[in-house]
């Protein structure tokens, strides 16, 4: 398995991965929603506010994670890791966890201090995320699944809490996604 950066020429393959993976697990409509979200993030997010990592089996993309900037007033470099997809045929092999670790290490090397995610705590705690609360770190919008809001510190700075509510990239600015 090869872990690396997404290439813009792979946009269609990336969208298909997310659409099919989420369609398989959450239903066709959810697959379309997430595929559209990924397309929007790729097409509209400024380059400095997004990082996309993929796992390739030979030349085929089999997993991907997206990091998009969360801007806090306190100016700590923070990114949201979402969405995350591993092709249905490749799930259960540790590929997603390895890709997440790779992506987090790359973000750390770029000076990112905090990584957030919003999803299944049973999965994300395996890769170093810890549940957090709105009292510690506010989410950009109201959470429908508050116990899925998680954080991981990527620096030696012990950031216990931030008071401001962050802004997210435009693609994530829709309340239905939260």
pLDDT of residue 158: 80
Q: What domains, with CATH codes, occur in the chain?
A: 2-169 (3.40.630.30)
- Give the integer Cα–Cα distance in Å for 129 and 152: 5
Measured over the CA atoms of residue 84, residue 88, residue 93 and residue 95, the dihedral's sign is negative
Each residue's pLDDT, cut to its tens digit, for the chain (178 residues) gives 999 999 999 999 999 999 999 999 999 999 999 999 999 999 999 999 999 999 999 999 999 999 999 999 987 899 999 999 999 999 999 999 999 999 999 999 999 999 999 999 999 999 999 999 999 999 999 999 999 999 999 998 888 889 999 999 999 999 999 9
pLDDT of residue 65: 99
For residue 91, count other CB atoms closer than 10 A to its CB: 16
- Give the integer Cα–Cα distance in Å for 151 and 159: 11
Beta carbons within 8 Å of 38's beta carbon, 6+ residues apart: 14, 15, 18, 66, 83
pLDDT of residue 157: 82
* Cis preceding-peptide flag for 83 (omega within 30 of 0): yes
Residue pair 31/22 in contact (Cβ under 8 Å)? The answer is yes
pLDDT of residue 74: 86
pLDDT of residue 15: 98
| Three-state helix/strand/coil letters over the chain | CEEEECCHHHHHHHHHHHHHHHHHHHCHHHHHHHHHHHHHHHHHCCHHHEEEEEEEECCEEEEEEEEEEEECCCCCCEEEEEEEEECHHHCCCCHHHHHHHHHHHHHHHCCCCEEEEECCHHHHHHHCCEECCCCCECCCCCCCCHHHEEEEECCCCCCCCECCCCEECHHHCCHHHC
- Give the integer Cα–Cα distance in Å for 19 and 139: 25
pTM, rounded to two decimals:
0.95
pLDDT of residue 105: 98
């Amino acid at each position: 398995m090869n872990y690396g950066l997404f290439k813009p020429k792979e946009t269609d393959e990336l969208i298909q991965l997310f659409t099919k993976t989420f369609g398989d697990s959450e239903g066709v409509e959810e697959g379309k929603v997430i595929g559209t979200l990924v397309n929007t993030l790729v097409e509209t997010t400024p380059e400095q506010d997004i990082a996309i990592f993929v796992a390739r089996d030979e030349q085929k993309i089999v997993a991907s994670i997206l990091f998009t900037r969360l801007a806090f007033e306190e100016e700590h470099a923070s990114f949201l890791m979402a969405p995350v997809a591993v092709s249905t045929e490749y799930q259960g092999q540790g590929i997603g966890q390895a890709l997440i670790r790779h992506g987090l290490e790359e973000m750390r090397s770029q000076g990112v201090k905090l990584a957030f995610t919003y999803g299944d705590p049973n999965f994300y705690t395996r890769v170093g995320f810890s549940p957090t609360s709105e009292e510690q770190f506010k989410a950009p919008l109201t959470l429908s699944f508050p116990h899925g809001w998680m954080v991981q510190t990527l620096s030696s700075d012990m950031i216990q809490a931030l008071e401001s509510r962050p802004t997210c990239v435009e693609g994530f600015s829709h309340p239905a996604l939260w």
